[in-house]
């Protein structure tokens, strides 16, 4: 069965610091990978997605993620965070042919202090 691990449950950063959130998945076949963000009191929004091609994916709001197949990883990065990035971040995976159901990681709560 597929599973997703997010190693950092809580991250606290100061504004302008760089961010990297870890995500590893367990599934031997081809996967689609996603990062979603949930701002306080809001719904989940897609930050970026990887289906195939260039393993470095750029998303909205300056976020990017790198798919490393050999490490089963899809880490999220942002060079300089802002207070408005305070949110919970979820990594998710689905397998083609799996009817698009998403398997989510436990989430990482990011707090950015001014």
Partner 1 sequence: DSGVTQTPKHLITATGQRVTLRCSPRSGDLSVYWYQQSLDQGLQFLIQYYNGEERAKGNILERFSAQQFPDLHSELNLSSLELGDSALYFCASSGRQESSYNEQFFGPGTRLTVL
Q: Which residues bind partner 1 (CB under 8 A)?
A: 32, 36, 42-46, 49, 51, 90, 94-107
**Which residues face 55 on adjacent strands?**
none
Q: Residues 36, 48: contact at Cβ < 8 Å?
A: no
State which residue, 79 or 96, has the beta carbon closest to partner 1: 96
Least Å from the CB of residue 109 to partner 1: 12
Distance between CA atoms of 104 and 12, rounded to whole angstroms?
22
Q: Residues 47, 28: contact at Cβ < 8 Å?
A: no
Least Å from the CB of residue 114 to partner 1: 28
Which residue from 111, 98, 108, 87 is spatially nearest to 38, judged by alpha carbons?
A: 87
State which residue, 28 or 97, has the beta carbon closest to partner 1: 97
Least Å from the CB of residue 71 to partner 1: 22
State which residue, 9 or 71, has the beta carbon closest to partner 1: 9
């Amino acid at each position: 069965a597929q599973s997703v691990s997010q190693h950092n449950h809580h991250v606290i950063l100061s504004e302008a610091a760089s961010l990297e959130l870890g995500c590893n998945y367990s599934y031997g076949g081809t996967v689609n990978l996603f990062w979603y963000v949930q701002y306080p009191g809001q719904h989940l929004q897609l930050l970026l997605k990887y289906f195939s091609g260039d393993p470095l994916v750029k998303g909205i709001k300056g976020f990017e993620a790198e798919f490393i197949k050999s490490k089963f990883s899809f880490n999220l990065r942002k060079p300089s965070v802002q207070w408005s990035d305070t949110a919970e971040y979820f990594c998710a995976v689905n397998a083609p042919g799996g009817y698009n159901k998403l398997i989510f990681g436990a989430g990482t709560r990011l707090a950015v202090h001014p």
